[in-house]
Amino acid sequence: MTDDETLLLLSAYADGELSPGEVLAMDRRLAADPDARAMAERLRDLSGTLRATLAGPPAPESLRARVIEQIGFFDPPQSHNRLGGPLGSRLGSWLESWSGTWRGSWQALAATLLLGLVGGAGLGGGAVYLDRPGGAPDTGEVVLAGHLRGLAAPQPFDVASSDRHVVKPWFNGRTTIAPEAPDLSDKGFPLVGGRVDIVGGTPVPTLVYRRDRHVISVTVIPAADGPAAGEERRDGSTIERWRLGDLTYWAVSDLNRRDLRTFVDLFQSRTGGPPG
Amino acid sequence: MTTLARARFSQLVLPRLDEGYRLAHWLTGNATDAEDVMQEACLRAYRAIEGFAEGNARAWFLTIVRNTGYSWLQRHRPRAVVFAEDLAPEARAELEIGGALAEAPETPEATLIARDDAGQLARAVEALPVPFREALVLREYHGLSYREIAAVTDVPIGTVMSRLGRARQHLLARLAKDGR
């Protein structure tokens, strides 16, 4: 019989939220206590079923359209009064007085704006390329923009296939790199397809995986100078990068860090070992 | 100003409509209301977007959806927003002490739990009080960490942990009962 507190601990244990010391204690307890083991198993089954139960149809397209309409995405720059009332006209006049200083603020704004425009390209159609005076935007930004554009599109991939023997050849002729597309579905990371992203003006391959409802994009680009491996957070997404041979791999997802780490380790072990 | 705000909106909010919609759906219980909540939440997000500097955009947006959902519920279904503190003592005791577990099923092997063909589990989730339901959805569907759930729902991490534990305990007990 498991008591109340044990259940709370087991539940947090299943979520990976116990401290390392508590995890050790629980591992020992589970090894010795069949009741606790049975309860841990039921909690795990429950989580698995809940994920399917809680999922459902995505937001209807009509909602997306209404939201975009409401925010006034397609307003020409001159007519900002669509929001109506004093707020709209105030914003309009701000914009006018502000456009004079546009150049000066450009550097500071470019990062955000570029992401937004590329992210929004799925809606407006056609990619927007902004030439930033300070040089090319950094690669992490562009890779993240590709990932977010994928999320905003009806599908995050251009070719849908869970067969790595389909995905890899698909890139031939579309990009100069045809990356290995390891099948990780046995570990809960099914391959769902691939797409072409543009990094530094060059088409590069992106592999798309899923973990439950989360999308993981793995963009592969020729290695450049700079740090070979690392992790960073941007706007709620985690980016992991590593180097293999003369290629740099960029994995982007809103998965939690631990799961993304697991994914990256798996991916590396199936494509020729950890980064050199 | 609006150009920048829209650019940020398309970057931060639009890719997360599906996630927000699912939370709104579980909060309100149906598709039409979820759309209303989402439309209002998106407008709120747009107005607040200048104030969002850096950090977890996902948790930020889900917080807005959640709070919009709560005000919607308070407006349209005041009785649905029941906090654990407001429950009748017996109901509260059952949820917190999990009297449920006292009659734990003899067959732990989860033939019942493994698949939710009859929709029993979905109905049991719908019957959970809102604070328990939202913690469960944010964890099991959205995959948020306890810390993130605590931030979204504005309660301490310990409360998140206990709400999730109780919610699961309650669901297991319900399934066991239904299965008899």
The per-residue pLDDT for range A151-186, each reduced to its tens digit, is 877 777 777 777 888 888 888 778 888 888 888 988
% of chain A surpassing 70 pLDDT:
73
Token pair, residue B21, equals 């919609």
Domain of residue A264 covers 139-269
**Residue A131 maps to a domain:** no
Same domain, A159 and A254: yes
Same domain, A92 and A191: no
For the segment B120-163, what is each residue's pLDDT rounded down to a tens digit? 888 899 889 899 999 999 999 998 999 999 999 999 999 999 99
CB atoms within 10 A of CB A130: 11
| Separation in Å, CA A77 to CA A65, A274, B42 | 20, 49, 21
- Please determine, for residue A104, whether its predicted confidence score (pLDDT) is greater than 90: no
**Residue A130 maps to a domain:** no
Instruction: Give the CA count within 13 Å in the CB-facing half-sphere of B83.
Output: 7
Same domain, A40 and A84: yes
Out of A197-201, A259-263, B166-170, pick the least confident. Answer: A197-201
* pLDDT in the model for residue A10: 94
Same domain, A221 and A115: no
- Please determine, for residue B106, whether its predicted confidence score (pLDDT) is greater than 80: no
Strands A191-199 and A159-160: antiparallel
Same domain, A170 and A204: yes
How many structural domains are present in chain A?
2
* pLDDT in the model for residue A121: 42
Higher confidence at residue A159 or residue B111?
Answer: A159
What single string gives the DSSP state of each residue in B31-93? HHHHHHHHHHHHHHHHHHGGG--SS-HHHHHHHHHHHHHHHHHHHH-TTT---GGGS-HHHHH
| Separation in Å, CA A76 to CA A73, A98, A215 | 9, 16, 33
Banded model confidence at residue A137, pLDDT cuts 50, 70, 90: low
Which ipTM did the prediction report?
A: 0.79
- Please determine, for residue A143, whether its predicted confidence score (pLDDT) is greater than 60: yes
Same domain, A168 and A207: yes
Sort out which chain B residues have CB atoms less than 8 A from A212's CB and list them.
Answer: 143
* pLDDT in the model for residue B67: 93
Average pLDDT over residues A99-112: 41
**Residue A237 maps to a domain:** yes
- Please determine, for residue B40, whether its predicted confidence score (pLDDT) is greater than 90: yes
CA-only gyration radius of chain A, Å:
23
- Please determine, for residue A100, whether its predicted confidence score (pLDDT) is greater than 50: no
Same domain, A15 and A69: yes
Sort out which chain B residues have CB atoms less than 8 A from A58's CB and list them.
Answer: 17-18, 21
Q: Please, which residues have CB within 8 angstroms of residue B93's CB and are 6 or more apart in sequence?
A: B99
Whichever domain contains A175, its CATH number is 3.30.200.100
A56 and B25 within 8 Å at the Cβ level: the answer is yes
Same domain, A229 and A115: no
**Residue A124 maps to a domain:** no
A152 and B15 within 8 Å at the Cβ level: the answer is yes
Higher confidence at residue A134 or residue B24?
Answer: B24
Burial group, residue A178, by CB count within 10 angstroms (0-12, 13-18, 19+):
middle
| Separation in Å, CA A44 to CA A37, B97, B110 | 11, 21, 10
Using DSSP, state whether A175 is helix, strand or coil. strand
Same domain, A156 and A63: no
Of A11, A45, A49, the CB nearest to B164: A11
Same domain, A143 and A238: yes
Contact in structure between A36 and A6 (CB atoms under 8 Å): yes
A119 and B11 within 8 Å at the Cβ level: the answer is yes
**Residue A210 maps to a domain:** yes
For the segment A245-273, what is each residue's pLDDT rounded down to a tens digit? 888 999 999 888 888 999 999 999 888 76
B22 and A56 within 8 Å at the Cβ level: the answer is yes
The mean pLDDT of chain A is 75
- Please determine, for residue A38, whether its predicted confidence score (pLDDT) is greater than 70: yes
Same domain, A144 and A185: yes
Same domain, A251 and A170: yes
**Residue A252 maps to a domain:** yes
**Residue A42 maps to a domain:** yes
Of B21, B136, B165, the CB nearest to A8: B165
Among A33, A42, A260, pick the best mutation site for testing chain B contact (most B Cβ within 10 A): A42
* Domain end call among A119, A152, A181: A119
Sort out which chain B residues have CB atoms less than 8 A from A113's CB and list them.
Answer: 3-4, 7
**Residue A127 maps to a domain:** no
d(Cα A104, Cα A107) in Å, to the nearest integer?
A: 7
Chain B CA closest to residue A211: B143
* pLDDT in the model for residue A276: 40
Token pair, residue A271, equals 């494509």
* Domain end call among A61, A84, A119: A119
Contact in structure between A196 and A175 (CB atoms under 8 Å): yes
Q: How many residues does chain B have?
A: 180
Higher confidence at residue A51 or residue A111?
Answer: A51
Contact in structure between A220 and A179 (CB atoms under 8 Å): yes
How open is the CA angle A228-A229-A230, to the nearest 5 degrees? 140
Sort out which chain A residues have CB atoms less than 8 A from B16's CB and list them.
Answer: 151
For the segment B44-84, what is each residue's pLDDT rounded down to a tens digit? 999 888 888 777 888 999 999 999 999 888 888 776 655 54
d(Cα A269, Cα B13) in Å, to the nearest integer?
A: 35
Q: How many angstroms separate the most distant Cα atoms in chain B?
A: 63
Banded model confidence at residue A33, pLDDT cuts 50, 70, 90: very high
CA-based nearest distance A228→chain B, Å = 25
B113 and A46 within 8 Å at the Cβ level: the answer is yes
Report how many Cβ contacts below 8 Å link chain A to chain B: 186
B169 and A7 within 8 Å at the Cβ level: the answer is yes
Token pair, residue A55, equals 């999922």
